[in-house]
Structure 1
Amino acid sequence: MPVRVDPRVSIHPDSSVLMAAIAARLITKLVDVQDKYGEATVVLTGGTVGIGTLKAVADSAAAPAVDWSRVNFWWGDERFVAADSEDRNTVQARKALLSHFPVSAERIHEPGSSDEFGSPEEAADDYARQLKEAAAAEHAADHSDDRPEEPGLLPRLDILLLGVGPDAHVASLFPEQAGIREKERTVVGVRTSPKPPPERISLTLPAINTAGEVWMVVAGEDKAGAVGLALAGATPVQVPAAGPSGTSRTLWLIDEAAAAKVPAQLVRKEATRS
C-alpha cells in the first residue's frame, strides 16, 4: 500500500488568481517531467476551476515551452452522455486547451460515450482496458534496470487534477456510494450521481492514488466545509475529498473563500498567498 503523503495547502486571493497560478504550475511541471522522461501524462478534471485552468494555460505566454505532442491526456471522470454533448469534460477541454496546440490524437484518451456503449459499466471497462494497454506499452518501452517484471493496470500518471464538490465528492466518487468504496477496480460506472447527469464513468480511489502528484483545485465559499473536513482527516467514504493522495506530493490549490475552514496548523506552515 502506498505511503500517504501529507498535503500541502496553497491559498490564493480569488478564483481568477488561483486558475492562473495552477496554469503556471502545470506548465512548469509538464516541462520538468518531459525533461526527465521525454513525455508527460496529466489527468484532467472538469468544473469551473478545472476548465478555467485549461483556458489559462492556453492563454499563457509560457505554454509553448511544453511539447504538447508529447503530453498524454486522461480524465478522472466523465459524464456518460453523447460524445458531442457540452456536458462532457472532454468536449470542454478540447475547446479550452487541446484545440489550441498540436496535441497528438493518439495521446488523448477519452472515456467512452453513450453513443459507443450501452451502459456506463461497459464504458468503464473499456476505459480500464485503455489504461491497462497504455501501462503495457509503457512497460515495453522501459529499458531501465528497475522496471517491474510485469506491467501494472495503470500507466505512470504524473499530475492528476481533481475538483471538489460542495458534498465533498471528487471525480464522480460520491459520499457513501459504491464508487468510493471500490478497492480493486481502476474505473467504475456510476448510475446514481446526485447531480445531473446521473450516469458517469470515474477513476476509483486506488487508481487516483497511483498518481505522482495529486492537485486538489478548489474555489468558492460553498466548498469550504468540504475542504475543511477533508483536511481535518475525515473518512473518505463520508468525505471522498479526504481520500486522494499522490505518491510524491498532494497539493491543495484553493482560493480564500474555499479556505475558510482549513485547519489552522496546515495554513500556518504550508499556505502561500499569490
Structure 2
Amino acid sequence: MGFSLKKFTDQASLITAAAADTVALINQAIRENGSAHVVLTGGSNGIGLLAALKDAEIADWSKVHVYFGDERNVPVTDPESNEGQAREALLGQVEIPEENIHGMKLGGVDLARAAQNYEELIGQVKEFDLHLLGMGGEGHINSLFPHTEAVAETQRLVVAVKNSPKPPAERVSLTLPAIARAKKVWLLVSGAEKAEAAQQVIDRADPAEWPAAGAEGKEETVLYLAP
C-alpha cells in the first residue's frame, strides 16, 4: 500500500491524465476479472473526468459497475444529485446497463434506511477496483467532514449524514472503511484554496482534522494535484 503524488500544471491536464489512467484500469480489470467496479465522485474534477470518458475506448461497458461515494438527499432529477450529474456527463451517453448503475435512491426517503440499503449492496462487492475522490478546501471527501461522527466511523461502510456543514445538510456517504475496500484510491484535487489540505494529505495527517488524509487504497493511493 503506497502513496504517490502526480503533479499537473492545470486542471485540464489533470483531468486528461486521470481519465486515461481510469480507462486503462477499467480495461485491465475487465481483462483480468471479467468486470470493473468503480466508485464515482462529483465536483468539477470528478464530473470533468466522466465527461472525458464519453469517447474512451472501454472494452465493454456492460462489464462496468459504478457506485457513488456520496449523494445528497434529493431526487436524481435534481441538479444537486451526484448521480444525476454523472448520468448527464457520461452514463447517459454510453451503453452501460441500467442495472450496473448502483445509485443510492435518495429524495424524500428515510436516510438511515437508505444508508443501510446501500451498505448491504456494496457489502456484496468483494472490493472496488477504484474509488475516485474529490476534496474540499477543508479536506472533506465524500460527505466526511472534519470533526464529525461520519469521519470517525470505523465499522459501518455507509452512514447517513443529517448535518452536513456544506448544504444540502442531508446526505448519505461511504466511510473511510468503505474507501479502504478499494484496490486503488485516487484523489483529484485542483485549486489554490485546496493547497493546505493537499499538503495535509501528503503528510498523512490526522483524518479527524483532514478526512482526505485517511483515504487509503489496498494497493495504492494517488493524489492527482494541480494548482
After TM superposition, the score normalised by the length of structure 1 is 0.81
Q: 3-state DSSP class of the match of 2:92?
A: helix
Q: Does 1:121 align with 2:112?
A: yes
The CA distance in 2 between the partners of 1:206 and 1:156, in whole Å, is 12
Match of 2:189 among 210, 218, 222: 218
Match of 1:38 among 30, 34, 49: 34
**C-alpha root-mean-square deviation of aligned residues, in Å?**
1.1
The CA distance in 2 between the partners of 1:39 and 1:6, in whole Å, is 24
Q: Which runs of 4 or more aligned residues in structure 1 lie more than 6 Å from their structure 2 counterparts after TM superposition?
A: none
The CA distance in 2 between the partners of 1:18 and 1:90, in whole Å, is 22
Report the counterpart of residue 106 of structure 1 in structure 2. Answer: 99
The CA distance in 2 between the partners of 1:225 and 1:121, in whole Å, is 33
The CA distance in 1 between the partners of 2:188 and 2:76, in whole Å, is 26
Match of 1:130 among 117, 121, 125: 121
Q: Does 1:88 align with 2:86?
A: no
Q: Which has the larger radius of gyration?
A: 1
How many residue pairs get matched?
227
After TM superposition, the score normalised by the length of structure 2 is 0.97
Paired letter, 1:202: S
Report the counterpart of residue 67 of structure 2 in structure 1. Answer: 74
Match of 2:134 among 163, 178, 192: 163
2:2 and 2:219 in contact (8 A); partners too: no
1:153-201 per-residue CA deviation (whole Å, 9 max, x = no partner) reads x432001000110010011000000000111111000011111101110
1:191-223 per-residue CA deviation (whole Å, 9 max, x = no partner) reads 111111011100010111110000011111111
Paired letter, 2:186: W
1:46-78 per-residue CA deviation (whole Å, 9 max, x = no partner) reads 0000001101111x4xx1333111100001111
1:112 and 1:126 in contact (8 A); partners too: no
Structure 1: any 5+ residue segments left out of the alignment?
Answer: 136-153, 258-274
2:137 and 2:197 in contact (8 A); partners too: yes
The CA distance in 2 between the partners of 1:122 and 1:84, in whole Å, is 21
The CA distance in 2 between the partners of 1:246 and 1:47, in whole Å, is 21
Which is richer in strand?
2
Percent of aligned pairs with the same amino acid = 38
Structure 2: any 5+ residue segments left out of the alignment?
Answer: none
Paired letter, 1:107: N
Question: Could you tell me how far 1:229 is from its partner in structure 2?
Answer: 1.2
Question: Could you tell me how far 1:232 is from its partner in structure 2?
Answer: 1.2
1:138-161 per-residue CA deviation (whole Å, 9 max, x = no partner) reads xxxxxxxxxxxxxxxx43200100
Match of 2:45 among 29, 46, 49: 49
1:90-141 per-residue CA deviation (whole Å, 9 max, x = no partner) reads 00000111111110111110012124x23x2221111112223xx2xxxxxx
Q: Does 1:253 align with 2:216?
A: no
Paired letter, 2:20: A
Q: 3-state DSSP class of the match of 1:65?
A: coil
